[in-house]
A and B are shown apart, each in its own frame.
Chain A
Amino acid sequence: MALISVKDVSFEYDGNIVLNELNFRLFKGDYLCVIGENGSGKTTLIKGLLKLKQQYKGDIVFGDDLKSDEIGYLPQKTFVQKDFPASVFEVVLSGRLNNLKLKPFYTKKDKIIVEENLNLFGISNLKNKSYRELSGGEQQRVLLSRALCSTKKLLLLDEPATGLDPLATADLYKIIKKINKEKGITIIIVSHDIQNSLKYASHILHLENKQIFFGVVKDYVVSDIKHRFFKGDS
């Protein structure tokens, strides 16, 4: 059974349809890259999958016993109050929230997982720093660590490379591929980085306020759509 089935799904804001008639299915271990121009509806789709935004038509069905508390998520924008007092450790630890279930407190294991993810993104040294005093790229790494902390079966990343330097970006794609391969975690990533997307993803979803392509990368590379949008770019 498919992990996620999207059937005839449409989204609207204030009566304007921004995404029309989406139809695709993802299976366990798939790596989907969502591409499209600014305003094409990528973030809306991610929010729809997370039930942060209600579709006005169609069905989004989770299969394979996927529950909403087994998902990791990196938002495109995080509105944190400018003066919010929170240490990096506290922020990343809040990613373990979906593991609390009925327990009131985090366990030793949760804290170990936090340490691991801080290490993964090279920010262990920032652990006790205040989140609001970090640079944009550092904050992005913190939020990426938090996203990985809550990932069990599915990871949704909305433009994860925003603000990262080239080295960190390359690392990021490797890290994502690694957890996709080794742990069989399904990945959905929104990205404008077509090279890395084609290199690592298994599937491509191209949006233009509707679905103009869904399929495996091999088919996408030879399709007209790809040539129309990324002239000369490979």
Chain B
Amino acid sequence: MFETIIEMFSYTFLVRAIVVGLAVSLCASLLGVSLVLKRYSMIGDGLSHVGFGSLAIATALNIAPLTISIPVVVLAAFFLLRISENSKIKGDALVALISTSSMALGVIVISITTGMNTDVCNYMFGSILAMNRTDVYISIFLSSIVLIFYILFYNRIFAVTFDENFARAIGMNTNIYNTLIAILTAITIVLGMRMMGALLISSLIIFPSLTSMRLYKKFKTVVICSAIISVVCFFIGIVFSYLHATPTGASIVAINILMFLLFSMISVIKKYYRICK
């Protein structure tokens, strides 16, 4: 086991993938707690599809993918947040509308230009080879920002997530925090998307917080636990995919599912234990 890990670290592309992956997993799980609790999980999914569309266009125009994807997805995040604030039901449908439209647009652009090649497959399901040096720097920078933001504004994030109206009533500017969460989520998704795949990245946002909510009932514990689960699942997933040559993104999601089942089982066992006592 230990030797495998050392062996993995001797490949530059794997080291890059691990660094970017750990950073993205950490950010996604922290932001995910708020998104899941505010019933905004769909936004994460919608953004990844928008990200796919923008990646396709960037490739067609032969521009560095991040320079187009990040602004487009940040804009989409703004927009999606606004509509889901205004009306819950319509917002849900609109998210689906936007995500399928950008997916369709992306597929059309691809088929006109490069055709359905492995690149496209990689956008959808992720590729571990996609990370370059810039990505590593950007993700380290981004994850530090998310981490600092999360720690410094932790109490405000709790208040906005728990009861936004109350926070606003007692004089807090809640829009700033919602917008910040949306922007950081957008950037996290774009960064993680090429490794995890557009179809799988939103699981990094949703799974860790759902898993830790199986067992923990305090906000702070849930946040800390999600971060740990996310990082651990990523690491196990990437080692597994290295050993068994399985797709990285899918392996990480699979480990997340197993973790979710494990936590659910423990919570059920705990319940029965309490009843028996």
Which of A's residues lie within 8 Å of B, judged by CB? 50-52, 67-73, 75, 78-81, 83-87, 90-91, 93-95, 97-98, 100, 104-106, 130, 132-133, 146, 150, 156
A181 to B152, CA, bound (A): 37
Q: Is B216 interfacial (CB-CB < 8 Å)?
A: yes
Residues of chain A lying within 8 A (CB to CB) of residue B263:
none
A130 to B218, CA, bound (A): 7
- Contact across chains for B162 and A91 when beta carbons are under 8 A apart: yes
Q: Is B112 interfacial (CB-CB < 8 Å)?
A: no
- List the 7 shortest-distance A-B pairs measured between CB atoms, nearest first: A69-B171, A130-B217, A68-B171, A50-B169, A104-B152, A73-B169, A98-B170
- Contact across chains for A80 and B162 when beta carbons are under 8 A apart: yes
Q: Is B270 interfacial (CB-CB < 8 Å)?
A: no
Q: Is B138 interfacial (CB-CB < 8 Å)?
A: no
CB-CB nearest in chain A for B168: A52
- Contact across chains for B158 and A84 when beta carbons are under 8 A apart: no
Instruction: Determine which of A70, A75, A85, A94 lies in contact with B222 in the assembled complex, contact meaning CB atoms within 8 Å.
Output: A85
- Contact across chains for A94 and B217 when beta carbons are under 8 A apart: no
Instruction: Determine which of A71, A83, A130 lies in contact with B169 in the assembled complex, contact meaning CB atoms within 8 Å.
Output: A71
- Contact across chains for B219 and A90 when beta carbons are under 8 A apart: yes
Q: Is B159 interfacial (CB-CB < 8 Å)?
A: yes
Q: Is B108 interfacial (CB-CB < 8 Å)?
A: no
Q: Which of B165, B166, B222 has the most CB of A within 10 A?
A: B166
CB distance from A26 to the nearest CB of B (A): 17
Residues of chain A lying within 8 A (CB to CB) of residue B170:
68-69, 71-73, 95, 97-98, 150
Residues of chain A lying within 8 A (CB to CB) of residue B171:
67-71, 98
- Contact across chains for A146 and B213 when beta carbons are under 8 A apart: no
CB distance from B274 to the nearest CB of A (A): 13
A29 to B165, CA, bound (A): 26
A13 to B171, CA, bound (A): 23
- Contact across chains for A84 and B162 when beta carbons are under 8 A apart: yes
- Contact across chains for B166 and A90 when beta carbons are under 8 A apart: no
CB distance from B257 to the nearest CB of A (A): 19
CB distance from B225 to the nearest CB of A (A): 10
Main secondary structure of the interface of B (DSSP, over half): helix
Contact flag A100-B218 (CB < 8 Å), given A50-B169, A67-B171, A69-B170: no
Residues of chain A lying within 8 A (CB to CB) of residue B213:
83, 85
- Number of residues on chain B facing chain A (CB within 8 A): 29
Residues of chain A lying within 8 A (CB to CB) of residue B221:
85
Residues of chain A lying within 8 A (CB to CB) of residue B38:
81
Which of B's residues lie within 8 Å of A, judged by CB? 37-39, 151-156, 158-159, 162-163, 165-172, 213, 216-222
CB-CB nearest in chain A for B39: A81
Residues of chain A lying within 8 A (CB to CB) of residue B165:
52, 75, 78
Contact flag A85-B216 (CB < 8 Å), given A94-B158, A94-B159, A104-B151: yes
CB distance from A169 to the nearest CB of B (A): 22
Instruction: Determine which of B168, B172, B219 lies in contact with A85 in the assembled complex, contact meaning CB atoms within 8 Å.
Output: B219
A87 to B222, CA, bound (A): 11
A133 to B216, CA, bound (A): 13
User: Other CB < 8 Å A-B pairs besides A50-B169, A73-B170, 9 of them?
Assistant: A73-B166, A75-B169, A78-B166, A85-B217, A90-B218, A90-B219, A91-B162, A94-B159, A97-B170
A162 to B231, CA, bound (A): 44
CB-CB nearest in chain B for A128: B218
CB distance from A107 to the nearest CB of B (A): 11
A133 to B217, CA, bound (A): 10
Residues of chain B lying within 8 A (CB to CB) of residue A98:
170-172
Instruction: Determine which of B37, B155, B222 lies in contact with A81 in the assembled complex, contact meaning CB atoms within 8 Å.
Output: B37
A83 to B166, CA, bound (A): 19
Residues of chain A lying within 8 A (CB to CB) of residue B156:
97, 100
CB-CB nearest in chain B for A81: B37
Instruction: Determine which of A51, A68, A80, A106 lies in contact with B163 in the assembled complex, contact meaning CB atoms within 8 Å.
Output: A80
A70 to B153, CA, bound (A): 20
CB distance from B239 to the nearest CB of A (A): 30
Residues of chain A lying within 8 A (CB to CB) of residue B222:
85
A97 to B159, CA, bound (A): 8
Residues of chain A lying within 8 A (CB to CB) of residue B216:
85
